[in-house]
Structure 1
């Protein structure tokens, strides 16, 4: 079943489609969650919550607003950050190395195998290291631009400019591949 058909079946509450989506995405999503919370047990709990939210909110997914993986990733990211904030672990986030996400992206055993299966590897490989660090801190770890500037010891204006450039590069790559 192609991805569009799989998503439609999920939106129609088809359990087999849900199981297939879990098979396709759970490993990648777990890796992302784990990179944020840095605790296997908590990551497993959040993963289950994320897939429950996917099941319950599948009808809210709209392909015109973005890719399915991005939609799932946003659910996972938000759930992870909410969990950390609710437990008062914001400071522990800052202690995680910015390389954590980069390591996951570059490790074939964790993320890249699944990323390649859904077509992300070619985009990730093109990104400059600074873009990977910015995506890690701003998107996955929930840092503000100011916190990111402090963490990387780069002026705030430079962070804003580089972030915009990285996002524009990703948009350009995605638009080129969809065009």
Structure 2
């Protein structure tokens, strides 16, 4: 079967939230979480709905099964904590920007280019409205750091929140729109 990517909607919310919860790495040691990667934060259906109605949440699926998701949001969608600090770290001079993340790929689909497909689709959709995508990754998340570096995203800044170190990555959606 073929993996396809599209914007999510109400029928996808339960599966997205379930994959997000499963991707948190709860119950794993710090070393296991670092190696496998993990999704931060909690999200409920109301926040997910706001993201969907804004810049969008993108899903990859195969035969109706969720393979992965990538969320995007306007800088003001989350007005505090790491999202706000990431935007502040990049600064107003960067041009019109959106937040990228969280993103997760179901383990059964990892290694099949799902994240590349998601990044390409969201970049195509957002490149005419935004100059820059901004992501933040906890320094303890070795897998996610490696993935962002693999994609050639710019390590633009660092910050500390709640005694945890974060790295801010940026990318131009124009540069990602033709990948895949």
Judging by fraction of residues, say which structure has more strand: 2
TM over 0.5: no
TM-score normalised according to structure 2 size: 0.34
Judging by fraction of residues, say which structure has more helix: 1
In our comparison, the structure showing a higher alpha carbon Rg is: 1
